[in-house]
């Protein structure tokens, strides 16, 4: 009997790791129903574009991707953050088949079923039980909640994604276990506000193995640490209870790494930004964390040129950076996002000044990063291998998150495998990366 060809879907995933997790969920469901992924739009039966609507520049990129899909294929389904405000997409591309907002997996699947009904075939319906990962197999993002209870004045995420909705602890742990069993060596814990995990559930416990686990930041981090994989915490705010997880880092249960998007340091600007945990005497806390866990790596992002940012606010930020010695920094020039309350603040900072401040901050930070990396020369570090080359392989130490931080370039006497964790001797450092050789397997 001749089998019907599998319907083919081409998928474009834009935006942050949180959007990537949404894409993975949709693709997993499609694969389970027998759809195939196409490499190109023109060989596919339809295209799904998962958009990002965080900044106006991201919206432009999303519109560009939709335009490309329309031109090359013509059957296009749009989802993701930009889909929460469909007017712009409808105006530019009235022929789009369906537009849905973030996390509306069911609606996306309904739209796919309508435009391209599934073909049931037991040979096509097989999907690995842990789902399809768009990230390489050795690391995976683990999304623990959706939405956000904060109301930062420059951000429209709560408007797009709603208030915080956390997953039950046992649900997250089940997914983590499946991933580790399938070969994942590093779990990247993400959400809009990871340290607020479980607030909406009033920290209710759920059954996991022979015990009850509360839906609480510390409790979840501790349990995740039991799987033996690297566990990296991202998008954490410096609430007082964050101090507790430093102990888990010192014990080696989770990675000594915190990604805390501070965004600024000047009290006036933080207030205008309405940032969570802005009052928490952060410099003192950072000092304490490092005393307790000297290997701790801190990553952060900052915004320069926020409305009303004066020269003295900016100097305050630079001095703060010197003192905090943040290891890794990303910096953005403020962009007014349609619908964000900060647009009404007035006192816009001119573009040239934003650029000057951006340059100054990056130059200052480069020195700090380089100084901190130099201290690692001569040490031994564990490195997870991301890419294997003929003479030099590329990996990351515990201090480096994939895609955003630096890398470790390693020579080795024997061929390495992607996902392998080796011990490396660090021989040299530059501004962002380390170089060395494998000293143990
Ligand atoms: S914490 Fe602030 S910046 Fe982050 S998603 Fe929530 S409102 Fe937006």
Distance, CA of 389 to CA of 435 (rounded, Å): 14
CA of 141 to the centre of ligand 1 (A): 19
HSE-up of residue 206 (Cα within 13 Å, Cβ side): 17
Among 326, 346, 374, give the residue marking a domain's end. 374
Distance, CA of 366 to CA of 368 (rounded, Å): 5
The verdict on the CB of residue 373 being under 6 Å from ligand 1 is: no
The verdict on the CB of residue 258 being under 6 Å from ligand 1 is: no
Query: In whole angstroms, how large is the CA radius of gyration of the chain?
Result: 23
Among 374, 406, 428, give the residue marking a domain's end. 374
Distance, CA of 164 to CA of 154 (rounded, Å): 18
Token pair, residue 195, equals 């340290």
- Is 72 found in the same domain as 35? yes
Q: In ligand 1, which atom is closest to the CA atom of 276?
A: 1
Residue nearest to atom 8 of ligand 1 (CA): 155
Q: How many CB atoms lie within 10 A of CB 334?
A: 21
Distance, CA of 441 to CA of 436 (rounded, Å): 14
Token pair, residue 255, equals 């990675």
The verdict on the CB of residue 81 being under 6 Å from ligand 1 is: no
The verdict on the CB of residue 193 being under 6 Å from ligand 1 is: yes
Distance, CA of 361 to CA of 356 (rounded, Å): 9
Sign of the alpha-carbon dihedral angle for 304, 305, 311, 316:
negative
Distance, CA of 353 to CA of 315 (rounded, Å): 13
Number of domains in the chain: 3
- Is 416 found in the same domain as 358? no
Residue nearest to atom 2 of ligand 1 (CA): 152
CA of 152 to the centre of ligand 1 (A): 5
- Is 237 found in the same domain as 109? no
pLDDT 10s digits, 188-215 = 999 989 999 999 999 999 999 999 999 9
Q: Identify which of 145, 152, 190 to mutate to test ligand 1's pocket (most ligand atoms within 8 A of the CB).
A: 152
127 within domain boundaries: no
Element housing 409 (H / E):
strand 408-411
Token pair, residue 199, equals 């607030």
The verdict on the CB of residue 152 being under 6 Å from ligand 1 is: yes
- Is 325 found in the same domain as 200? yes
User: DSSP H helical segments within 258-386, as ranges?
Assistant: 267-273, 282-292, 311-324, 351-374
pLDDT value at residue 66: 95
Element housing 302 (H / E):
strand 297-304
The verdict on the CB of residue 304 being under 6 Å from ligand 1 is: no
- Is 385 found in the same domain as 436? yes
- Is 171 found in the same domain as 43? no
Task: Look at residues 283, 284, 285, 265 and name the one whose alpha carbon lies nearest to residue 275.
Answer: 265
Whose structure tokens read 């009290």? 267
Q: In ligand 1, which atom is closest to the CA atom of 275?
A: 2
What residues are paired with 9 via a beta bridge? 37, 46
Distances (CA, A) of 275 to 263, 288, 368: 8, 22, 25
107 within domain boundaries: yes
The verdict on the CB of residue 157 being under 6 Å from ligand 1 is: yes
129 within domain boundaries: no
The verdict on the CB of residue 148 being under 6 Å from ligand 1 is: yes
Residue nearest to atom 4 of ligand 1 (CA): 192
Task: Look at residues 298, 294, 172 and name the one whose alpha carbon lies nearest to residue 237.
Answer: 298
CA of 133 to the centre of ligand 1 (A): 26
CA of 26 to the centre of ligand 1 (A): 24
The verdict on the CB of residue 263 being under 6 Å from ligand 1 is: no
Token pair, residue 163, equals 């208030």
3 within domain boundaries: no
Whose structure tokens read 């990247």? 188
- Decide: 174 and 181 in contact? Cβ < 8 Å: no
pLDDT value at residue 161: 80
Which residue segment(s) compose the domain that 347 sits in? 139-374
The verdict on the CB of residue 88 being under 6 Å from ligand 1 is: no
Total residues found in the chain within this entry: 441
pLDDT value at residue 120: 57
Element housing 313 (H / E):
helix 311-324
Distance, CA of 35 to CA of 413 (rounded, Å): 43
Print pLDDT tens along the chain (441 aa).
344 578 899 999 998 887 888 888 888 888 877 788 898 999 899 999 999 887 788 888 999 999 999 999 999 999 998 888 889 899 999 999 999 988 777 789 889 988 998 775 544 445 555 666 777 789 998 999 988 999 999 988 888 888 999 999 999 999 999 899 988 999 999 998 999 999 999 999 999 999 999 999 999 999 999 999 999 999 999 888 899 999 999 999 999 999 999 999 999 999 999 987 766 689 999 999 999 999 999 999 999 999 999 999 999 999 999 999 999 999 999 988 888 899 888 889 999 999 999 999 999 999 999 999 999 999 999 999 999 988 899 999 999 999 889 999 999 988 999 999 999 999 999 988 999 999 987
pLDDT value at residue 4: 58
pTM for this prediction: 0.80
Distance, CA of 248 to CA of 289 (rounded, Å): 12
Among 374, 394, 418, give the residue marking a domain's end. 374
- Is 315 found in the same domain as 281? yes
């Amino acid at each position: 009997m001749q089998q019907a060809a599998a319907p083919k879907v081409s998928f474009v995933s834009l935006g942050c790791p949180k959007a990537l997790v949404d894409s993975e969920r949709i693709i997993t469901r499609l694969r389970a129903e027998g759809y195939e992924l196409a490499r190109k739009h023109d060989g596919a039966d339809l295209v799904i574009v998962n958009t990002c609507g965080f900044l106006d520049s991201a919206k432009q990129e999303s519109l560009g991707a939709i335009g490309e899909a329309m031109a090359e294929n013509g059957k296009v389904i749009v989802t993701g953050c930009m889909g929460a405000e469909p007017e712009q997409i409808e105006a530019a591309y009235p022929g789009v088949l369906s537009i849905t907002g973030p996390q509306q997996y069911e609606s996306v699947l309904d739209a796919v079923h309508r435009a391209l009904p599934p073909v049931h075939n037991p040979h096509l319906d097989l999907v690995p039980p842990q789902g399809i990962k768009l990230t390489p197999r050795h690391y995976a993002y683990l999304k623990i909640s959706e939405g956000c209870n904060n109301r930062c004045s420059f951000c429209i995420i709560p408007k797009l994604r709603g208030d915080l909705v956390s997953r039950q602890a046992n649900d997250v742990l089940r997914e983590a276990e499946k991933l580790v069993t399938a070969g994942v060596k590093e779990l990247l814990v993400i959400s809009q506000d990871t340290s607020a995990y479980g607030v909406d559930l009033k920290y209710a416990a759920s059954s996991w193995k022979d015990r009850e686990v509360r839906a609480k930041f510390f409790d979840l981090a501790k349990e995740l640490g039991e799987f033996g994989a690297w566990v990296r915490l991202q998008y954490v705010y410096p609430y007082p209870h964050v101090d507790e997880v430093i102990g888990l880092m010192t014990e080696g249960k989770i990675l000594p790494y915190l990604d805390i998007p501070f965004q600024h340091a000047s009290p006036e600007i933080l207030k205008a930004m309405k940032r969570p945990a802005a009052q928490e005497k952060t410099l003192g806390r950072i000092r304490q964390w490092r005393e307790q866990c000297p290997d701790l790596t801190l990553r952060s992002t900052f915004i320069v040129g926020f409305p009303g940012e004066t020269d003295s606010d900016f100097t305050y930020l630079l001095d703060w950076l010197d003192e905090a010695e943040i290891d890794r920094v990303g910096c953005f020039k403020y962009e007014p996002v349609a619908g964000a309350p900060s647009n009404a603040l007035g006192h816009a900072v001119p573009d040239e000044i934003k650029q000057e401040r951006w340059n100054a901050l990056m130059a200052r930070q480069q020195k700090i990063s380089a100084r901190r990396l130099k201290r690692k020369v001569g040490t031994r570090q564990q490195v997870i291998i991301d890419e294997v080359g003929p003479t030099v392989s590329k990996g990351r130490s515990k201090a480096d998150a994939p895609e955003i931080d630096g890398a470790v370039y390693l020579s080795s006497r024997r061929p390495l495998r992607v996902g392998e964790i080796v011990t490396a001797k660090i021989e040299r450092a530059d501004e962002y990366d380390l170089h060395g050789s494998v000293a143990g397997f």
